[in-house]
Structure 1
Amino acid sequence: MKRRFLPVAVAVTASTALLLAGCGSGGSDDDASDKIKGAAGGDKDASAPASASPEPDGERRPEIKLPRSFQIDFAGWTNSDPKLQAIMDDGKELLLASYAAIIEGDPQHPAFTFYAESDALRTGTEWIKGFTDKNLVLIGKGRVFQPQSRISPDGSGTLFYCVDEGKGSTKNTKTGEVTATPADDALVLYRTKLRKTDEGVWKTTMVQTERGACQ
C-alpha cells in the first residue's frame, strides 16, 4: 500500500494542519476506488459528538478519549442494517484512535494498533510519527459526515466518509505556534477497507484519502 496524496514530510511542512490526507494510501480494491455518492454535497444531519467505543462482541475494545482541546463530531453516523452499522462503528473508532495517537504522542497507541492492521497499521504509524517527531498535536474541531459502508462479496468491508478539517489546527507543543488548516485543504474523502476478525471486530487494513473530493 503506497501513499498517494500527501506524503508525511510534504504534508507536515506544507499544510501543517490536521493533514489527514497524509495517511492516504494506494490499493487495488475496486470498492475503495469508487467515488462516494453525494460527495459533492453537504450533510445536514445533526452532528453527534465522539463517543466511547461500541459494546464488545467477542473482544474487549479499548476506550478512546479525546481532550477538550480537540473534538470530533460525527454527522449521520447511523445505518438501519446492523452489519453495516458495525463497520461504521469500528471505522469511526480507528479514526478517533488515530487522532488520540497524535495528541498523546504515541505512534503505537493501544487503540490505534487495535483497530489498524496490515498496510493501514504500517502507513498510519508513519503518518502519526510525522506529527509526533515534530512535536505537533491537534487542536480545534473536526466534522465527519456522509458515511457509506458495504460488505464486498469476499466478506471484506468498505467504508467511505468525508472529513471537514476547516476548524482544526496543529499546535507545536514546544514553541506554542498554532497553524490553521488552509481552506482549500479542509475537505478530505476517506476510502477504507476493513476485515472482520473471528471476535467480531472490523479492523481497518487499507486507507486512501483524497482532498477536494467532498466539495
Structure 2
Amino acid sequence: MNRPALLVAVALTASTGLLLTACGSGGSTDSASDKIKGADSSGAKASASPSAPTSKDRAGRPKITLPKEFQANFEGWTNSDPKLQAILDDGREELRSKYAAIIESNPDSDAVAFYNSGSSLKSAREWIKSFTDTDDDLIGKVTVSRPQVHINDTGSGVLFYCVDERKASTKNRKTGKVTTTPDKPESVLQYRERLDKTSQGVWKNVSLTTVAGGCR
C-alpha cells in the first residue's frame, strides 16, 4: 500500500516509514531569507526535552494528548530568545496535532486546523486521511531534535528540525499487523517549515517540505 506524496516528488511505500511521504504544502522554504545555515548538518548537541505547553492559553491553544503507545520525544527544543521559543512551541504542537489526529482517526481535527492554514491544512488532512483510510494507528516513538529557527525578512518564522522514525511503526486496527520503519538513514527526515503569526499570537504552519535522509 503506497502512501501519497503530498505536493513533492517523493513516493515511498508505507513500509518505509510513517512520514516519508508526508511532504510539502504551499511551496518550499528554500528562498534566500528562509535558509538556515548548516541546516543539513548534524547541529549542536541536544538538551533535555521541555514539557508540553499547558492548555491554559489566552489564544485558545488546544490541549493535545498522545497515548502511552506512541511517544513523540522533543530534544533540544529550547531557545533563549522568547520570540523564537514561541515559534518552537507552536511548531512542536503542530506536529503533535497531526500525530494525535492519526491516532484518533480524525482527519478533520480542530487541533490540526488550529496550527495549519491554507494549502498546508489541506495537505495535512490528506496525509492524515492516508492513514485513516487504511485504518492504521501509530505505535512506538519518534525523536524530534536539532531544531533551527529564525524570523526571516518578511516576518515569517522559519523552522527546520529532524524526525527520527526508526523506532516507530504502524499498526492496523482491524488485523493487528505491525509495519516497522526500516533502520535506514532515509527514516530520519528533515522538516522545513514556514510559519506566519496570527493576530492572536499563534504561529501557524503555512508551508512544509520534508526531506528523507535530510538529517544525516
**Secondary structure at the counterpart of residue 90 of structure 2:** helix
Distance 1:174 1:21 in 2: 23
Give the conservation status (yes or no) of the 8 Å contact 2:90–2:202. Answer: yes
Distance 2:8 2:50 in 1: 30
The code of the aligned residue for 2:180 comes to: A
Distance 2:211 2:134 in 1: 24
**Counterpart position of 1:3:** 7
**Secondary structure at the counterpart of residue 204 of structure 1:** strand
Give the conservation status (yes or no) of the 8 Å contact 2:53–2:89. Answer: no
**Counterpart position of 2:3:** none
Distance 1:38 1:121 in 2: 25
Alignment of 1:92-107 (within 5 A): 92-107=92-107
Would you tell me which structure has more helix in proportion to its own residues?
Answer: 1
Distance 1:18 1:32 in 2: 30
The code of the aligned residue for 2:195 comes to: L
Q: What are the Cα deviations for residues 92-137 of structure 1, in whole angstroms up to 9, with x where unaligned?
A: 0000001000010000111111101111101111111000000011
Distance 2:44 2:173 in 1: 34
Distance 2:173 2:50 in 1: 25
**Secondary structure at the counterpart of residue 64 of structure 2:** coil
Distance 2:50 2:139 in 1: 16
Structure 1 pair 47/80, CA: closer, same or farther in 2 (3 Å)? Answer: closer
Structure 1 pair 33/79, CA: closer, same or farther in 2 (3 Å)? Answer: closer
**Counterpart position of 1:202:** 203
The code of the aligned residue for 2:68 comes to: R
| Residues 1:66 and 2:66 are matched in the alignment | yes
**Secondary structure at the counterpart of residue 22 of structure 2:** helix
**Secondary structure at the counterpart of residue 97 of structure 1:** helix
Q: Could you tell me how far 1:181 is from its partner in structure 2? A: 0.6
**Secondary structure at the counterpart of residue 48 of structure 1:** coil
Name structure 1 gaps, 5 residues minimum.
none
Paired positions, count? 209
Q: Could you tell me how far 1:78 is from its partner in structure 2? A: 0.5
Distance 1:165 1:94 in 2: 17
Q: Could you tell me how far 1:51 is from its partner in structure 2? A: 1.9
Give the conservation status (yes or no) of the 8 Å contact 2:46–2:146. Answer: no
Structure 1 pair 92/3, CA: closer, same or farther in 2 (3 Å)? Answer: same
Give the conservation status (yes or no) of the 8 Å contact 2:39–2:148. Answer: no
**Counterpart position of 1:83:** 83
**Counterpart position of 1:152:** 152
Q: Please identify, of 47-56 and 87-96, the stretch whose mean Cα deviation from structure 2 is larger.
A: 47-56
Q: What are the Cα deviations for residues 5-40 of structure 1, in whole angstroms up to 9, with x where unaligned?
A: 435xx543x52x312542334625415874662533
CA-based RMSD = 2.2
Q: Please identify, of 124-133 and 41-50, the stretch whose mean Cα deviation from structure 2 is larger.
A: 41-50
Distance 2:152 2:55 in 1: 23
**Secondary structure at the counterpart of residue 131 of structure 2:** helix
TM-score by length of 1: 0.88
